[in-house]
Amino acid sequence: MEIYQHFREEERPFIDQVLSMQEEVNMRYERKETDFLDPREIFIFTSLMGAQPDLIWDTFGGSEKSERKRAILAPEYEEIGQQDFSLTLLQASYPDKFITLEHRDVLGAFMSLGIKREKLGDLVVQDGTIQIIVAEEISDYIRMNFTSVRKANVQFEEKSLTHLIASNETWKVNETTLSSLRLDVLVKEIYGFSRKKAGMHIDAGHVKVNFRTIENPSFQLQEGDLLSLRGKGRSRLMEIRGMTKKEKFRVTISKLN
């Protein structure tokens, strides 16, 4: 199928999932909702929906700035509002004067419950407060079983989305040109390494693309890819804006400060 040519081989299962959703909604006239999608999956979903005049769709993850979002696909005569998304905001507190918790600590504790990552949206750890957006269908299970993070005992309570804390994370956006879209070239540009050192980090398994460890320096990045380098934070290839006269890629990239 021609559509697969625009995406990676390993992305075919997700593409098939979206195409299957489209077919079901068209045949049964019933809306469908996804689990939480990462930025790359949102890009793919949006791309696939471009040629579907008989369907409507939207994405939402708790706020307009959410990184991870659920998507709803519905017949064209329906309306989709933010209240239609099956999201629950859970909040807990911990004594930040005595215990230091980070994003990865909370994520690790969540994953240890045996729940799929796709059931968790954005999470914020800030000023002694933990907030997580979860799929509504697992909210009760989380409140009963998610009781500790490292040495901190926590008790999650359901809150209205109006209580969602704005993350203090800031992304620095930069427009630049690249000789190629290889992973080692992006890591070099974003994190200020030599290309050799970037390759060493990749070979050592320190780099993830869309939450998956990539050990191939020549791996080709695509628009919407989320990168992370161990100990150096996250970054994103936001947009590929074309080529220069010298055949370099014009791109917009961002890095979490």
Q: What are 150-190's pLDDT values in tens digits? A: 989 999 999 999 999 987 778 899 999 999 999 999 999 99
Q: Compare 139 and 3 and report the one with higher pLDDT.
A: 139
pLDDT computed for residue 1 by the predictor: 59
pLDDT computed for residue 170 by the predictor: 82
Number of neighbours of residue 92 by Cβ within 10 angstroms: 20
| Confidence category of residue 27, pLDDT binned at 50, 70, 90 | very high
Total-model pTM: 0.84
Longest Cα separation, the chain: 59
Q: Compare 39 and 142 and report the one with higher pLDDT.
A: 142
Angle at 134 between CA 129 and CA 140, to 5 degrees: 95
Tokens standing for residue 27: 């045949």
Q: Compare 165 and 3 and report the one with higher pLDDT.
A: 165
Cα–Cα separations (whole angstroms), residue 2 to 5, 6, 24, 204:
6, 8, 21, 35
Tokens standing for residue 105: 């600590």
Averaged pLDDT score across all residues of the chain = 92
Average pLDDT (214-242) is 92
